[in-house]
Amino acid sequence: MSTRGPLARCLLGLGVVVGAGLAVVGGLALRPPGLVAVGLAAVVSACLAGGVVRESRPERHAIVEAAWKAGAATVAVLLVLSGTAVLGGTVLTLLVAGAAAAGWTGVWLVRTHRAPAPPAVAEFRPPSFPLPPVSSLSTGDLGREWVRTTTALNGRLDARTREAIVVRRQQTLDELERRDPDGFARWIAGVPMPGSDPSGDLRRGDPAA
């Protein structure tokens, strides 16, 4: 449910209408070279935004969403500034650009301070019984072991438990590579998502005798 009051919604709607009008005027005033420049700026912004998001959220949908939003925002801002320059001249354009920058900064600061705390991660408790050696697990079980230990590393761990999980993961990878080097190489070459099950790219098989 929206927490904006009627006045805020009214001002927001008015701003959208005015901005849309200025964008139309700016688009009509620009000649083909200017429109090409706007398009190139949008492409550059989209690529930069997609690259930044990819570093923290490698999911394809997140990258695409960030890219198109950045591109659309760039086009909108440039067209609005062009329309403002046509109707009000350079001084008014500078004032609008400054006000937009100040408003964006204020919104960013408010959202930063009001950002909810990340949900608490459940504390991982290691099993009280010895784990079977990875060499005794099937290929499917090795894949599930990799997924399980990935989830475990996201929990609250003491240093000894974390070290034991890291060693277990290394043993799991070594065993997977030993059983099917080509399939393991395909999985690595595909830049797998964190926590993905590698067994789908490997030959199914029983543990070695």
Cβ-defined contacts of 18-23 (< 8 Å, 24+): 19/76, 19/80, 21/83, 22/79, 22/80, 22/83, 22/84, 22/87, 23/76, 23/79, 23/80, 23/83
User: Could you tell me if residue 27 is inside a domain?
Assistant: yes
Same domain flag for 88 and 138: no
Can you give the residue range of the structural domain that contains 105?
A: 8-113
Q: What is the pLDDT of residue 4?
A: 52
Residue 197 domain-assigned? Answer: yes
pLDDT, one tens digit per residue, over 160-174 is 999 999 999 999 989
The total of structural domains in the chain comes to 2
Which pLDDT does position 1 carry in this prediction? 44
| Same domain, yes or no: 89 and 173 | no
Give the pLDDT of residue 78.
Answer: 77
Mean pLDDT in consecutive groups of 10 residues from the start of the chain, 209 residues: 60 70 74 78 78 70 78 79 74 68 59 50 57 87 89 87 91 90 85 77 56
Report the pLDDT value the prediction gives residue 11, as an integer from 0 to 100. 67
**The pLDDT value given to residue 168:** 92
